[in-house]
Amino acid sequence: MKVSNKSLALLTTILAIVFSAAGRAEDADRAGTSKQSLQAKIEYCTTCHGSSGQGYHGFYPIPRLAGQQTQYIENQLLAYIEHRRENKYMYSVAHVLSPATRSALARHFSELNPKPLGGAPKGLVVTGKKIYEDGIPETNVPACMACHGGEAKGQGAIPRLAGQLNDYIISKLLNWNLERGRDPARPDISAIMLPTSHNLTKAQVAAVAAYVGHLQ
């Protein structure tokens, strides 16, 4: 059966509209993002985040994306675009991505599961586990697992911490308000972490980072 150019154009438009809410990454070409274009974006991401999204230990630690919650990845890309989260490199990457492409990239990386890079001091794991599971009541630090889950895999807008690079977590927690929540007129879920990040000492941050970095 032949389809007219007008009908085909209408179908393509409809698919492009619904793609941001549903559909698989392999259908991206029907949603306004070709498979070839998506693959190019994935390869670009892996130049920094690792071939399997495992992250990279360096002068500036680059986070693990593998296994991350799709909603969290999409939210962070949008936060970069809207300057609610500051990172000049990620703004340059994110602001040229369509909503469909952001969704497809998030799904791709969420489905990866390479072994964590590790590298955290094993001697801190026991202390980190206690803080993660019990919190620190005397300084109003809640149990991390209350939001991030017992296995630290997160849910929805709450990020996965399991397997994340310890030096990345340390850097983010110690500098939380320098990067997150940069638009007070449009607060987002990152505001939840501000009091906790302030109430943790550097040693406690390092311990939590060590613990979750060893989880898979």
Q: Give yes or no for a contact between 69 and 156, defined as CB atoms under 8 angstroms apart.
A: yes
Structure tokens given for 103: 């969704």
pLDDT of residue 11: 38
Q: Does residue 96 sit in the same domain as residue 140?
A: no
Residue 163 located in a structural domain:
yes
Q: Over 50: is that where the pLDDT of 22 sits?
A: no
Residue 136 located in a structural domain:
yes
Side-chain-side CA neighbours of residue 93 (13 Å): 22
- Average pLDDT value for residue range 192-213: 97
Q: What is the pTM of this model?
A: 0.83
Portion of the chain with pLDDT greater than 90, in percent:
81
Q: Over 70: is that where the pLDDT of 67 sits?
A: yes
C-alpha–C-alpha distance, residues 212 and 159, integer Å: 12
Q: Give yes or no for a contact between 91 and 80, defined as CB atoms under 8 angstroms apart.
A: yes
Q: Does residue 31 sit in the same domain as residue 104?
A: yes
Q: Does residue 71 sit in the same domain as residue 128?
A: no
Q: Over 60: is that where the pLDDT of 194 sits?
A: yes
Q: Does residue 94 sit in the same domain as residue 36?
A: yes
pLDDT of residue 32: 52
Q: Over 70: is that where the pLDDT of 68 sits?
A: yes
Residue 12 located in a structural domain:
no
Burial status of residue 9 (CB atoms within 10 A of its CB: 0-12, 13-18, 19 or more): exposed
pLDDT of residue 62: 97
Higher pLDDT among residues 109 and 32, named by residue? 109
Q: What is the largest CA-CA distance in the chain?
A: 71
Structure tokens given for 92: 């340059």
Q: Give yes or no for a contact between 174 and 205, defined as CB atoms under 8 angstroms apart.
A: yes
Which range, of 21-35, 89-103, 141-155, averages the lowest pLDDT?
21-35
Q: Does residue 144 sit in the same domain as residue 181?
A: yes
C-alpha–C-alpha distance, residues 166 and 57, integer Å: 9
Residue 115 located in a structural domain:
no
Residue 144 located in a structural domain:
yes
Burial status of residue 171 (CB atoms within 10 A of its CB: 0-12, 13-18, 19 or more): middle
What's the full length of the chain, in residues? Answer: 216
* CATH code, domain carrying 129: 1.10.760.10
Q: Does residue 133 sit in the same domain as residue 207?
A: yes
Give which of 20, 22, 52, 25 is closest to 39, Cα–Cα. Answer: 25
- Average pLDDT value for residue range 187-210: 96
Q: Count up the domains in the chain and report the number.
A: 2
Range of the domain at 133: 122-213
Residue at which a domain ends, from 110, 142, 159: 110
Q: Does residue 91 sit in the same domain as residue 150?
A: no
pLDDT of residue 5: 47
Higher pLDDT among residues 210 and 23, named by residue? 210
